[in-house]
Amino acid sequence: MLKKLFNFKNKVVLITGCNGQVGQAILNLFLRLDANVYGIDITKPKSKYNFNFIKCDITNQKSLKKTIEKIIYKEKTIDILINNAGISTFTNFKKRTEKELDKIFKTNVVSVINLIKHYVIMFDKKKLKKGNIINISSIYGFLSPDFKIYSKGDRFSPEIYGASKSSIIQLTKYYAVLLAKRNINVNCISPGGLLNKKLQSNGFISRYKKRVPMNRMGQSSDLLTTVIFLASDSTEYVTGQNIIVDGGLSLK
């Protein structure tokens, strides 16, 4: 029974931002589980597995529409849609520009709305029976960063990133209710800070670690069982939830 519940063989999975730190981990997870994976990004990731890469800028609505139609016409469905792509900025908030605000909000929020819109249009057109959407938010969608842990040059979480990520938590609840009658589950994962030695200073890593009850930063691999849990048929009665994967940081 467990094997059946967690069987992703030939399931059609679409993941945005598949060339990023988290995206690559999720992409490879579903490829290892023999799913039929489509990855969207601006640049193609290297993977030892074969998968369907679609070069698509998710802020371009025409391109998004075409991508969704192409997959559903070919595969007849998209079983699991993972809204993972996200961006930020690291400039001082006093120097924030309209251009930065527009780009981050468009990538992190508007693209998710557009992708879900085109997915549901095709879902209805093709009279699909079941769907599953997983959105990736962040603990900064409901928490303020602790500015004491950032030194000069450290990449901190800016106001617009938090605002965009809190929108994702709210949109998850909105779509969970709106799409429930179509049998589409919509859930969200909010990761804490993930270790990235190329981008983070040793000082930042050690200051961040001290705040985490589990005493470490996260890894992309820490998110994978939550992805599987939400993507599986075993959780078809779970919808609108935000699962926090942060080593306990947000509990204090």
> Which residues are near ligand NAD by CB under 6 A?
16-17, 19-23, 40-43, 57-59, 84-87, 107, 136, 138, 191, 193-194
Q: What separation in angstroms does the CA of 67 have from each of 20, 60, 63, 119, 232?
A: 19, 11, 6, 10, 24
Write down the least CB distance from residue 145 to ligand NAD, Å: 11
Cα(105)–Cα(88) distance, rounded to whole angstroms? 9
Instruction: With both helix axes pointing from N to C terminus, report the angle between 159-179 and 98-105 in degrees, rounded to the nearest 10.
Output: 30
| DSSP assignments along 49-101, one per residue | S--EEEE--TT-HHHHHHHHHHHHHHHS--SEEEE-------S-GGG--HHHH
Q: In terms of CB distance, is 200 or 235 closer to ligand NAD?
A: 200
Cα(19)–Cα(162) distance, rounded to whole angstroms? 22
Bridge partners, residue 12, by sequence: 36
Q: In terms of CB distance, is 85 or 171 closer to ligand NAD?
A: 85
Write down the least CB distance from residue 80 to ligand NAD, Å: 16
Q: In terms of CB distance, is 128 or 143 closer to ligand NAD?
A: 143
| 16 membership: H or E segment, kind and range | strand 12-16
Write down the least CB distance from residue 127 to ligand NAD, Å: 29
Q: In terms of CB distance, is 97 or 196 closer to ligand NAD?
A: 196
Write down the least CB distance from residue 153 to ligand NAD, Å: 17
Q: In terms of CB distance, is 134 or 194 closer to ligand NAD?
A: 194
Write down the least CB distance from residue 189 to ligand NAD, Å: 8
CA 97 from centre of chain: 25
